[in-house]
Amino acid sequence: MLILNEEKYAKDLYDGKNQDVKSIMAKIRYVTRYLVHSEHKNNDDTYKETVKWLKIRHNNFDESSYSSVISDAIKSAPKYPFYIIDNIKITRSELEIISSLDNLRAEKILFILLCMAKQQSMSNGFTDGLVKYSITELCKMARVSVPADDREYILYEIVQRGLLGYPKKNNTQCLIVNFINTDEVVLELDEVDCQELAYVYLNWKNDGKGYTKCQRCNRWMKQSKTKPRKYCEECARESHLESKRLSEQRRRDKIRGQNPTQQND
């Protein structure tokens, strides 16, 4: 996913959400920045809180191996305030250029790269469409599952079409998106949209047919043709559990009503 509100993201991580963050270095950076910028802790308290947090939240955390890493992260935290991006705007001509690739896998990948480039121009200050990416993460966001060699080939084909370029210094982690425009804005993507960018693109491409938003968490999902879905998988599970809990509760209340002497069981 793309992060738009980094402060909220760091707070969620601190509160034990965002389990997708696996790297201990990333955890240390977010937690120390959160404690410094949002909780306004001094360096000593930030260190203590970070160690306490890691002991609970990170498997086999060993303070002696990471004490200097944590101290360094605390020292550099003031240089990295959180960014907050209201939305990512995508224009008509950008969408039309992507759509002209006429290959769904390549289109989804290029759409994600465009969104990433726009996000990184605001979060990292990158210019001229520069985008830093990891191919695994990119394919995951694009919901494209192909063998590793084919992934590179999809990118290569887009480069051949002139829509992506390589930076002058050959950096395999970076590309340049060549078609960023400022014409009519068609999509304004918020944080929830950014969780399912592939569906956002497909929904635009299919004129709003076949995709819908979960009525509970707002996440984009595929619509079923036979049985219209109200909730995403996660929320459907939650809602099922909730109604089960409720009916169980009603059943118990009913028994109590019939048998008031057992009220304190």
For Zn ion, give the closer residue by CB, 140 or 216: 216
Helix (H) or strand (E) holding 220: strand 220-222
How big is the site for Zn ion, counted in residues (CB under 5 A)?
Answer: 6
CB atoms within 10 A of CB 219: 17
Shortest Cβ 220–Zn ion spacing (Å): 10
Burial class (CB in 10 A: 0-12, 13-18, 19+), 163: buried
Beta carbons of 176 and 143 less than 8 angstroms apart: no
Site string for Zn ion, 230-249 (x = CB under 5 A): --x--x--------------
Shortest Cβ 224–Zn ion spacing (Å): 15
Site string for Zn ion, 200-229 (x = CB under 5 A): --------------x-xx-x----------
For Zn ion, give the closer residue by CB, 180 or 217: 217
| Rounded-to-10 torsion of CA 97, 206, 204, 5 | -120
For Zn ion, give the closer residue by CB, 188 or 233: 233
For Zn ion, give the closer residue by CB, 122 or 236: 236
Site string for Zn ion, 161-200 (x = CB under 5 A): ----------------------------------------
For Zn ion, give the closer residue by CB, 18 or 99: 18
What secondary structure does DSSP assign to 146-186, as a single string? --HHHHHHHHHHHHHTTSEE--SS--TTEEEE-----S-EE
- Give long-range contacts, CB 8 A cutoff, 24+ apart: 50-56: 50/74, 53/14, 54/24, 54/27, 54/28
Chain residues binding Zn ion by CB under 5 A are 214, 216-217, 219, 232, 235
